[in-house]
Amino acid sequence: MLMADVLEVTAAVIERGGRILIAKRPKHKVYPGKWEFPGGKIEKGETPENCLKREIREELGTESLIERPLLVWDYQYPDGKKYRFYSFVCRPLEDNLQMLVHEELAWVSPDDLKNFDLLDADRVLVEEIKKSL
């Protein structure tokens, strides 16, 4: 059981053809212009898997197949906010992803992830992706 001040969120490692999908945060959100893995906040009564499927629908306009869990980690930002991340390797069920929330989408190789200005918490995933995909 998590403490009340820890926000549970999901992160999708969407892989296609050896490349990983990352998305650029819009200007009106916290950490504007940073790149991230799609995902979001787990709602009350929602499993991490169901949250991720909902978030992919809301952000990318497609259904997805969750293949396997990848990594669970905790992260605290300098402002004191604490998060528990649940990441999963996913595949979109359609090729025509829509940009419903983000400013930009990019398919990048695991080695190129280090060249993008990722959210600090999402950087934790980069080494795990390189080891497991």
Q: Decide if 113 is inside a domain.
A: yes
Q: Decide if 61 is inside a domain.
A: yes
Q: How confident is the model at residue 3 (pLDDT cuts 50, 70, 90)?
A: low
Q: Decide if 1 is inside a domain.
A: no
Q: How far is CA 72 from CA 39, 43, 47, 60, 69, in A?
A: 14, 17, 14, 23, 8
Average of per-residue pLDDT across 81-93: 95
Q: Could you tell me the pTM of the whole model?
A: 0.92
Average of per-residue pLDDT across 67-79: 95
Give the range of the structural domain holding residue 128, as residue numbers without chain letter. 6-132
Other beta carbons less than 10 A from residue 119's beta carbon: 19
Q: What total number of domains does the chain contain? A: 1
Query: What pLDDT, on a 0 to 100 scale, did the predictor assign at position 98?
Result: 93
Q: Decide if 101 is inside a domain.
A: yes
Residue 99 above 70 pLDDT? yes
Tell me the CATH number at 121. 3.90.79.10
**Whose CA is closest to 88, among 59, 56, 66?**
66
Query: What pLDDT, on a 0 to 100 scale, did the predictor assign at position 106?
Result: 97
